[in-house]
Structures are given as structure tokens and as C-alpha cells.
Structure 1
Amino acid sequence: MNPRTTGILFLVALLLGGVVWWSNQREVEKKEAEDQAKRLFGELKAEDVEWIELRTSDGQDARLERRDGAWRVAKPVDFPADPSTADGLASALAGITSESVIEDAQDFSVYGLGDGQKVVRFGAGGAERELRVGKKTPVGANHYAATGASGSVYTIASFRATSLDKPLDDLRERRPLRFDRDSLQRIEVTWQDGGVVLEKKDGAWRLVAPLESAADAETVDTLLSDLVFLRATGFVDAPPPDAQVGLDAPAYRVVLLSAPQEGKEPTRHELAIGSVVQDGTRMARAAEPALYRIPTERFDTLPKRVVAFRFKELSRFVATDAQRFEISFSDPAQQSSQVATVEGQSTGTDGWTTKPDPMKDGLAARIVAELARLEGDDIAAEKMGPEELAGVGLSPARAAVRVYGKQPEGGGEAPVLAEVHFGVQDGGRIFAKVPGRDTVYTLADAIAEHVPMSLEAYRARFVETEPPAAEAAPDAAPDAQAPLAPEVVEPPADDGGSPAAE
């Protein structure tokens, strides 16, 4: 094609594109102008609204005021306002638009806009404005409305009208505690028969009372989340004596202290929850004189044992990083201490193979998954002597599980991702220990469904009793092949702190 023709066509396309863009832009500007013309309060912005007065849906004359950038209920009570609700009211008032204007409007009373109807007053820029909301229109999802600035009658969308209809409690801040969890430095928690103190050190929470110990990060995070999302179901503005609601001896008390800032005292947040249950709620006191009604079920989930705050993690790793595992079983019935070892090897996407016996489908992967994030339920002892360890089946361990990662490319030993020793089952719990730690933990015995705790359990529930169909001999009887017993070897001397066999 002639270069000159190409250039002309390019210029024509560019010109047409500009015309289309200009046309579209004109349409956008026209639509914006039409929307602006429909706004009952012109170019008013939500952030310009300084105060709002309205009658609530439960018949209370309420006033909200913006003070130092925060909303507060000023009437009929003095209380922090719910920021989302208050901002929503300001936005609805500033941006409210008409759907139509009633021509030759009659008296306001015809449209339900007379005295005694819903009137919302608000201030912005030092000027007072008024919105009247009347009856629903006979046709369409609209309500009649009027402003104090003119005698015109408008129709507004019903959803805009109902957005201004709130009960008093919805205008109030329902969160007893409002804090920045990342700024916290100290947490004090007390309940009726105990308590803990935690401090953040080097970015991690630690117990400092009643003992020095690493803290359970998940318990602390869950507690803080529960407090952040705690919401009152109601309020008591004339509190009874503390003894009547159990606040003379609170069932639960939390004090949160932020890290000190230069030239400022640490910010303190405190919540006390009463011990008396009334209508499924407990009374709680925070910074305001009024009391909050807290649902009992939210109180019930709060941790109330020292051990709940303690670090009880036995193992943690990414399950897909595991390449091999070993389970060594010790038989306490043998006169000489012997162990039997089972090995599992990851085959990638195909799963796991085990020897000397094949395990049932999925069970080897489930063992690894259980060990990937294993946490104790309780702490049996800070430390046990040799006889005590033997008594709970941890010297030698009834079952010792070791999980290995991928062998380094340059050679060398594969890293140990986890090693846990399991002892006897007693009263619904299993004793457990991690080599190198003195602490003895207990686990719910439900884990025995997924991790074999003895050679007998392994043979009975985990071993594939029949060969896979594709590998079975044509004339083999269904029960012709019994599971192989794991190889039995003499273990090295056991000091109670390492696996019975490698």
C-alpha cells in the first residue's frame, strides 16, 4: 500500500477515535451534571457534616457530633458513636438525590411532610440544613421528601429514606475495646482462680507470670481477635451496684498496654466482665460509665487456664517438604529392650511407599500431616526423672516418629523436620515429649487413629493386609498374604532423651 495512503488512513482513524472519545466524555460530563443537579444539598461533602440530629426508630431524640475527627453520641446519652453508622448517615445526607420534583405541590401534610413527621437536621460549614422524609409514594419504590431551603416536594429512593432510620443502640459504638493490636506491649489477664501476664519481646509474646515461658502465639492471637471483634448486644446507662452484676469480683479481666512512646504514657485499655449471667448476657465495664451487655457464648470462648497460654507445639513443618519418615516401636513386654522400625518414602505426586510392609492408601500421608502441626493439649510435667519417664512410656518411647526433609543437593544428611516421642495412653490422653526438651506434654488420644502408637496398632490398622489387585497372583487366595513384621533390631543404649532406634 502507498505510504501516503497509509498515513492518511492512520490520521482518519486517529481523528475518529478522538471524536468517539470526545463524545463519550461529553456523555459522562452530562451525566455527572444531571446527577449533581439532582442532589438536594448541592456540592456538600460527607466530611463537611459536623453534627446530625434525628429521631431514632425506637423514638429517641438523638444528636451525633464530630469531635476531633471522631463521632460521638451527644444526646440522649454521652457515648462514642459507631463510626461506620455515623459516617454512613453523613454520606447519605450529603449525597441524597431526588428522583423527581412534584409539580404544583400541595400542602406538605398531603405528602406526610408536615409537623410530627421524620425530620433530620444537620450542620455543615456553620450552616444548618434540614431534610423531611414523608410518606411512601403510591407508585414506585420512593418516598416524598423536602428540604428546609425551599418549598419544593421531591421523591427520593426508599432505600435512601430507610438508611436514616436507625435505633439508638445502632448509633452507639458496640465495641468495648478499640485498640491497635500491633502496638501492644503487655497483656494482663485474670480470671477467678488464676491469671497470666504476657509481654512482647523481640516481636514474640512470652509469659512472665505466673512463670517464665514461651507463649502460645495462636492463643494470644485468638484472644486479641476475640477482643477486637467483641460486640455488645445492648447497654445499661444506669448501672446497678457492682455486686448485682458480678463486677465486684469480675469473672474475667483484661488489661492491654501499648508500647511507650517518647514523651507519652503507654495507652491502657481495660475490660472487666461480670460473674452474673442475666438473659444470656454478662455485664462488662470498659472506659465509659455505661455497661455493655456481652453474650455469654463469647465469654465462654475466652482462655481461662494458664496452660492455654503456654507454648505446647511439638512439631511444625510444611507437609510437602517431608521426604521420609521413620517410626520406631518399643515393646515393653520384651525382657531385652528391642525396637521395630517402619520407614516411609515420599514418591512425590504418587504418595508414599513404606517398608517392610505397604501401608493402606493415604495413611502414610496422614501420619505426616498430623506431625506437620502437632500441639499438646496440656502439660503433664515441667520435667520427669528416669523412673517417671519410664512409667509414662517415654523411656524408652513406645513410639518415636522422625520426619526428614529433602537431602541437600551437594550431599550430606537430610534435615530432621520433626521428632516426637509418644508414651502410654491413659485416661483419654497420650504422653508425649520432644528430644532436647524437659517438658512432658499430653495429647488427646484421638491422634492414635492416625499415628500408630504401638506395633500391634500398626499391624492391626495401618498395614495393607492384601497385595494390590494389579500385583496379586491370579491364583492367590484373598487372605493368603499376611503383613510382614517390621525388622526387629537391638537398640543403642537409651538415655530417655533420644529415639529408641534411628
Structure 2
Amino acid sequence: MKRTPIIVVAVLFVVEVLVLAVATPAPPAAQVRAETLALGDDYTGVTLTIDRPAPEKGAVEKKPEGSEGDLLGGGSEAAAPAGKEGREIIELAYEGGKWFLRKPLEFPASKADIERLVEHLKNLDLAEVPATKAREELGLDEKQGIRVTASRDGRPVVDLIVGNTVGGRTFVRKPDESAIWTVEGLGRDELTRTVDDLREHQIFELEAGELTQITVARGRGEKTFVQKDKVWMLEPADENWLADAAKISGAAGALARLRATKFADDPSPEVTGLGGLFAGAMVTFVAQPEGKTPTTYKLLVGNLDEAKENYYVMRTDPAAPAPDTVYLVSKYTMERVIGSETTGLDEYRERRVVRDVASDQIRTVAVTIGGVRATFTKGEGTDEWKPGEGVSFAKADGATIAAVTRKLGTLRADDFVALPGLRVGDRPVTLKDLIENFPQDIREAMRMGSGGGSVGQLELANVLTQNSMFLEQMAGLYAVIYPDRAAAAAGGIRALAGELQGTFTSLRDPLLALAAKVEAPTPGVPVQWTFTTADDKTLNLYLGGTTPDGKRPVYTDTPGDRQVYLLGGDKLGDLAIEDLNDLRAPRLLGDVSADRVTAAVFSNAGKTWSFQHPIGSAWSAAAGTTLAGLDPEKLTSHVRRVLEIEAVKFVRVSREAAGLTVPVAVVRLTWISQPPGAAEGATAAVPGPGPKTVTIEVGGENAEGQRWVRLTGLDPLLDAGIFLVAKGPAADLLFDPSKVTKSEAAGTAPAGTPVVQPGEDLVNLLGAGAPAPAPAPAPANP
């Protein structure tokens, strides 16, 4: 075995001993002394004094650099002294179960910070270590050292000078000793926190459940909310202004634990906005902990700070521990209580338009546009929506109707239509007063103001201005909710305008403008939806036109809810339909089967081709049409493709704009909806329904190659409908005889047939009736 020389081992041992002696504290066996200082758990009568270097203005405490691996290396120097004699005295006292700052100012102390510090002072285990570096390097000299003294009834229990913290241990010494000790737990950074850091940032220390009433005043508005049976509500109740219980509960939580981000450096009224009798907002609330009497708290809210990140706030209730203190509270937190500059008190309003109707329980959907109503139903246990009685749709667009029912639960108002707040006479101007009794209100106001001259006219002008803005936001909604009353209400206002005399004639034009707004919406199509659930609960939802800022007013007949909501069009989705055809299945001809079509007429490029298809027979050319090499199978496929054409979308466009005044092509199909047959047990055959004919006119194309198409004869709802059809399917409507023949050559008209000018046959076709099915031709010889 190879042996290490003895002299080498000896040298290594000596080096290791020297390294341990210089670089690290000696292990417990090498400690000079150990001692315990105990403050204990009872802080009654305890005063805590921190005598430390005064920080430079704007100085930030930094950890000593390069100190992690060097227990006795002091790292960087502490900040240079500043202020009187270069020292700062912090004094805290424990009174009535709480810590308070006594120097340099009187203020409740930060509970979390002070309790953490005294927890470390409760039991200090000191271990003396041999020092190889000067006090200056360890932060223990007179200049850098922090003297912390914990006294009970004036008698010191803990009195130490604290230096740097390295690797989880802090160097300390006793004021009148040269020995250097280390302690664990107590860190220098706990003793260098700023005075503001040591102040209690918690403005209120309550539980949200203890709050029983909140009153918020902002601008000219004021609302009071009370908590009853753990539910927040508006007091007194107002059907025109519903409260959002969840929002108020959130505000109560924010208030109960309201916390400052910092304290105001310049509490001048000009900066804070807290001067005078009233600030920007005032919050008054009552809290009643269990078993205690109620206490009222008041909070003034002023301006935003320069960075627009915090509000200046101040407590003004008698229970405030530090009167006249100006706190800064984060904008987000404070606006949960007072609302934003945009929403104001509407922050607390109920914004959910529909609250008590579950979409999966809806069984009937009805929609009314322009006085025409369509109803759709869904049976129990099925997801298929079908056209209801009186709707001639072959098939409903189930996906769109289902999307409408799901959309109900997602509707959230962006804003609300502002009801006029002025009074005419002794009562408020309500929605009913405004629309139905408006002329009488104005007559009363004129009578009251007739002796007041300009004052009476000014009041009237204010009423008209506010109501004009109101009706602008209503966007014809009244006419949708009360279609039978709108004309009479508008007529009453016009009659009033005609009665005006003397100085009041200047109000004639504004009154006429109001009358127009009552009965006609601004752009946008008013819609009424009616939803009925499985338990026969019915909800009517009304959409007005479009307001000048692009929103739609929405109103429901939910009991107790008279709010008029404003929603952006993008939030309404398929609820904001403009045509009943939007609820029709995209397949234009529904479920018509190709084998039930008995006749087809195609007109294109100035020519017309007619074909017949008796039930049970093959397709053939009708009288007046000669087409060599007709392939019945190809024609069957072509007719099937026409029947399966789907609309890309339904559009509101004039026939002129769609190129349908003179269509480029026309298709006319005739079919028998049901096969004739006999009822079970009947002795005679029951006659089947007669043939039905639909005309498809093909117009111009848009930039995407889609074509406008118009259907007539299918049902009254669709006769005015214009649809866009994709480029590929639209090509099947532009008949090409070569696509239905066995050879490339298409037949020509018999000799003697006059030459047809382009468009001539289209005119004849559109004016003629459907061709009667012709007898099946004789089989052709092979």
C-alpha cells in the first residue's frame, strides 16, 4: 500500500487550523461565552427605542456586498450620517394591547413589522466570537452601530448595539463592552426601516361582515346600501336603479381592510383636494362587531396623485387614531368603493340584463321585427329548434337560435340610459311621465314659469335638453315596447308644439324633435324577443335602435327592473338581428327532395330551358325546349345541387344595389310537397297538396365573388329577403346546358323560333306562371 508522507499530513493540518481560526467563528467548543437576553411574551409597559444613523435623503438600504461567504467581513459601509448630530431616534410603546410610535411622531405602529421585531427580541441567544476585524468593518462603531433598547417600566431588558448581518447571523455588542457577539433571527434590516414603513398602513381594521350600512356620495349623486340577512341592497329600493349585491359586498371588503400605500408628503388642500366642506367623494359607513354597539366611520376622498395611481384620503370620524392624516390609497382599491371617474355611482349598479332565466330551460323563442313575428319551439329532451305555427320556414337555423338563448346570460351593460333628474312641479320626471304625460308636464312648467320670465324659460330649456339626450339614448325603444302608444304620445307632443305662443315659440322645434325621437329609432332595427321556459316563465327583451355613440338600449319586463341598459352591438351577438331570415336555416330550400320536383326552368344569357319530371319518371325537356343529348341523371344531380344551395348570409340591400332589377339568371322550380295517398282505413284516396313554385333570381356579385340571390313564392317572410351565395354554388344557378348533356353540344331552338334578345326571356319568365308538368316522353330508341 502506498503511504502519504507524515510531514505532508502535518502541514495540511496546520493550514486547516489557521483557516478556521481566521475565516469563521469558532465552533461551540471554542466560544468564549454564551448568554440569553429574554424580553418575554408580556409587552405591558415595554418601550422600544432605536438609536440609529440618520439616513441620507433618498438613501436606500443595501445589503453588504460580498458578505455571503465571509461571516466576519463587514461588507459595504452604512449610509453617511445626515440630519441633527447624524442620528435618528425611533421610540415605540406598547399600550392597550397595541404598539404606537411616540418619536419622531405620534402614530399607530405597523403591527406586522413591530411584532416581527419584538418576536426576535423575546429570546436572544448571544454567542461570543473571536474578532479579527475592527468594529468599523462589522458595523459596530459609534457611527454605524444601531442601538436598540427594550425597557420595561424604565428598566432595560435588552440593550445592544447592532451591526451587519451576514449569512443569517448578526454582529452585536453591549454598549460598555468590547466583546463581539452574534445572534440569529434579529436582522439589521429590521432596524433600518423608514419611519413611514413603521407607521400602520391599515386605515380600518374591520371584518366585511361587520359592516351594516354604506353611503357613498360622489358629485351630485348619493346612494345608501344596507346589509340585510347577509345580502346588500339599495335603501330605499328603486326600480330604475338596481344595486349589484356582489359589487357592494366587494366594496365592503375593500373598506373594512382599506390600506394605504404611503402617506402624503405635502398634505396641502390644493394638492390633496381635501379642503373645504366636501371632497371629490365621501364614504360613510357603519360597522357593528358582534356584541358591540355600532360605530360610524367617515372617509373623505380627494384628488388622484400626480402619477394618477393613488387617491388622497382622510378619515374624519371621531374614532380616527391619527386625525388629519392624509393617506394615499391605490386607485384600483379606492374605485372599488367610489366608482371610477367614468362610472361614478353606477359602479354599484346591476349590469346583468337577464338574471333569472336559464338558457337550457327555454322552450319557445319568438322574435318580432317590423310588426312581423316568428316563433320557434324546442321539445323536451331535444336540441332541435323548429319553426312554430304560422312560420313558413322549411327549417330553422337551430345553431343561431341556440346561440341567442346562450347569449342572454352573458349580457352586461356598458352603461345606462340616464333618466332625467330634474323635477317639473312637485314630482320627478319618470319614463312614463316623459313619454305619456310629457305635454301636460310642459304645460304645468310653462304656467309656473310664465311669471318668472327668463327663469321659467331656463327651467323649460333644461328639461327639454335633458329629455332630448334621454330620448337619443332610448333610440326609439319606447316605440318597440309600446308600439300602440308611440304614435299617440308623439302626436300629443306635436299638439303641444302647436299651442306655443309668445316667448315659448322658441321651444317649438325642440318639441318637434322630441316627438320624432319618440316614434322613430335612429339607425338600427328595433327587435322584440320573447322567451318562455319549461315552467312557463316568460321574459320579454326589447332592443332599440343605435345611439349616436354606437350602443343599443335594452329593456326587459322583469318584475322590479325598469333599468334601461346600453350595450355595444358586439355584445348583443345574434340578438341584434335585422331580418327574420337570419333565423332561417342556411339551406335556402330547406328539406325539399329532388325526387319531388316536377318542373324546372332555367334562364341565362338570354335563353330559357324548361324541363319536366313527373313523379316516378325521368327528367325530360318540356314543350318548347330542344336539348340534344339530355342526360336525365346529370339534370337530376344539377337540380339536387340547386336545392342544396346555402346562403352565406342574409343582407339588407336594395334590389338595385344587388343587381336584381334585371337579374343575370333566373331559376324556377316546382314541386309537390307530399306524395298523394289515402288515409289509413279510408275508402277513397285523399287528394295531395297542389304543386308549389319558387323563383330564384340571381343578381350581381361582390368583391369575394359571392352573388346576391332573391327568392319569391316560398313564403311571405322570404319574399323580401336577399341572400348572398358563395361563388361555387352560385355557378349552379347560372345554367350551362353542356353540364346536363351526354355530349358537349347543346341543342338549339327549332327552326322558325325567333331569336331571343338578352333579358327578353327573363322578363317573360318572371311574368309567367309555373309551367304545368307535362306527360313523360316516350322512351327513346337505343
TM-score by length of 2: 0.46
Map of 1:256 onto structure 2 = 285
Q: Distance in 2 between matches of 1:477 and 1:58?
A: 90
TM superposition shift of 1:372: 2.9
Map of 1:391 onto structure 2 = 478
Q: Deviations over 1:51-88 (max 9, x none)?
A: 43225787442222222122222221111222222222
Map of 1:79 onto structure 2 = 107
Structure 2 SS opposite 1:274 = strand
Q: Distance in 2 between matches of 1:84 and 1:426?
A: 55
Structure 1 position 293 matched with structure 2 position 422? no
Map of 2:355 onto structure 1 = 316
Match of 1:144 among 161, 171, 174: 171
Structure 1 SS opposite 2:196 = helix
Q: Deviations over 1:130-168 (max 9, x none)?
A: 34321355xx46442345698653334698333443111
Map of 1:53 onto structure 2 = 49
Structure 1 position 111 matched with structure 2 position 128? no
- Greater relative contact order (Cα 8 A, min sep 6): structure 1 or 2? 1
Counterparts of 1:230-245 in structure 2, within 5 Å, are: 230-236=258-264, 239-240=267-268, 245=273
Greater percentage in strand: 1
Structure 1 position 430 matched with structure 2 position 575? no
TM superposition shift of 1:253: 0.8
* Counterpart code for 2:481: L
Q: Distance in 2 between matches of 1:175 and 1:390?
A: 48
Q: Deviations over 1:59-118 (max 9, x none)?
A: 4422222221222222211112222222222223335666x6413778755633232312
Give the conservation status (yes or no) of the 8 Å contact 1:199–1:208: yes
* Counterpart code for 1:88: R
TM superposition shift of 1:254: 0.6
Give the conservation status (yes or no) of the 8 Å contact 1:284–1:292: yes
Counterparts of 1:421-500 in structure 2, within 5 Å, are: 421-427=541-547, 428-437=551-560, 439-446=562-569, 448-454=571-577, 456=579, 459=582, 480-482=644-646
Map of 1:409 onto structure 2 = none
Match of 2:233 among 206, 231, 236: 206
Q: Deviations over 1:149-208 (max 9, x none)?
A: 986533346983334431111111223333332222222221232222233344433333
Q: Deviations over 1:391-434 (max 9, x none)?
A: 34224682325263xxxxxxxx5364x73412223211222112
Map of 2:368 onto structure 1 = 330
Structure 1 position 67 matched with structure 2 position 95? yes
Give the conservation status (yes or no) of the 8 Å contact 1:322–1:346: no
Structure 2: which 5+ residue stretches go unaligned? 1-32, 56-87, 387-394, 420-429, 437-473, 484-525, 590-636, 651-713, 718-782
Map of 2:196 onto structure 1 = 169
Structure 1 position 402 matched with structure 2 position 531? yes
TM superposition shift of 1:250: 0.3
TM superposition shift of 1:251: 0.4
Structure 1: which 5+ residue stretches go unaligned? 1-36, 405-412, 468-473, 490-502
Give the conservation status (yes or no) of the 8 Å contact 2:225–2:234: yes
TM-align CA RMSD: 4.7
Give the conservation status (yes or no) of the 8 Å contact 1:136–1:158: no
Map of 2:385 onto structure 1 = 354
Asked which structure has the greater CA Rg, the reply is 2
Q: Distance in 2 between matches of 1:310 and 1:102?
A: 67
Counterparts of 1:12-31 in structure 2, within 5 Å, are: none
Number of matched residues? 424
Q: Distance in 1 between matches of 2:349 and 2:263?
A: 35
Identity %: 17
Q: Distance in 2 between matches of 1:110 and 1:440?
A: 72
Structure 1 position 192 matched with structure 2 position 219? yes
Q: 1:297 to 1:414 in 2, by over 3 A?
A: closer
Map of 1:180 onto structure 2 = 207
